[in-house]
Structure 1
Amino acid sequence: MAALPVMLGAAPALAATQTSDAEVEILEQLTLTQVTGLDFGTIIPSATGGRINIRRNSGVCVAQGGVTLVGSDCQRGEFLVTGPSRQRYRITLASAPITLTHVSGPATMVMDRVRINGNRNKRLNAAGNHTFFVSGRLQVGANQAPGVYDGTFDVTVDFR
């Protein structure tokens, strides 16, 4: 039996090149502006604790327990978001509790609920803006020390 010689050689390489596109869209940043601050108003405490609740959808302020609202300065906080037309965004609020501290002493009160009106997922209008409101519930202690109390909390808006 005779052997047949086999020639092994390199086959020519078949290569292909394709040019591809790369793209990016740069969006205008979202801007968040506080229009009015959250204000639980002017209150008179009593020997019994109570609370002030600002309704998130209506802004109505309700005193419960041993607390009396005086005047009409109780209001939701109002925020304005601006950015690209029709952009969707999400609101994130600080988690409660949030402490309000007497401006000249150690006394405190606690805001144990922080909420926005409606869903936290929102959309800017055609002009590129949208307003939303923040409300809360403030726990007032029995015989709460008189004076002004203040505190801060974070409100964040992000693209979604």
Structure 2
Amino acid sequence: MIRKTAIARRGAFIGIASPLLLVAMPLDAATTNGTAETAILQQLALTQVSVLDFGTIIPSNTAGRINIRRNNGVCVAQGGVTLIGTDCQRGEFLITGPSGQRVRITTAAAPITLSRLGGGATMTMDRVRINGNRNKRLDAAGQRTFYVSGRLQVGANQAPGVYDGTFDVTVDYR
């Protein structure tokens, strides 16, 4: 009787395993070639045409600021500073790439430090802006100009001298 039970179990196992083996084996195989492709775009170029210049400033014993308006480039002195001359201007940049291409412009986040050449003093640009929307389209010639402006905080009795600093501007495909 023990022997009959062992045979019955073995037969049941073979009966269950056989259909599983048949399912795993392909009855008819097919092969085809896949296709891969890509498009290579012209690299975007970004050129600074003119520097962002807060102009010539006369400070006082009261702090102030110089604001360059992003859409029209008008320079406005506020508080205890006076602008002298006409050298205050937005920074101008030129993008070059494929005709009609859409791009996105990104600028460095404020604050940006301007340091006095020779050391000893700093000022802070606490706002960085571009004119219009950050998303632009290149023209038929594959070009687009845009402007960067900002706001400069001038300390009370700011030390005389020439100040400069740098900021990043990035243009990416959109």
What aligned pairs does 1:8-157 form with structure 2 within 5 A after superposition?
13-157=27-171
Question: For the aligned residues, what is the CA RMSD?
Answer: 1.9
Instruction: Specify every segment of 5 or more residues in structure 2 that has no aligned partner in the other structure, as ranges.
Output: 1-18
Single out whichever of 114-123 and 17-26 deviates more from structure 2. 17-26
d(CA) in 1 for partners of 2:59, 2:121: 14
Does residue 158 in structure 1 map to residue 172 in structure 2?
yes
**Which letter maps to 2:60?**
S
Q: TM-score, normalised by structure 2?
A: 0.84
d(CA) in 1 for partners of 2:26, 2:43: 53
Runs (4+) of structure 1 exceeding 6 A deviation are: none
d(CA) in 1 for partners of 2:138, 2:159: 43
Structure with the higher helix share, 1 or 2: 2
Q: TM-score, normalised by structure 1?
A: 0.91
Larger-gyration structure (1/2)? 2
**Which letter maps to 1:37?**
V
User: Cα offset for 1:53?
Assistant: 0.1
d(CA) in 2 for partners of 1:152, 1:19: 53
d(CA) in 2 for partners of 1:128, 1:37: 22
Instruction: Specify every segment of 5 or more residues in structure 1 that has no aligned partner in the other structure, as ranges.
Output: 1-7
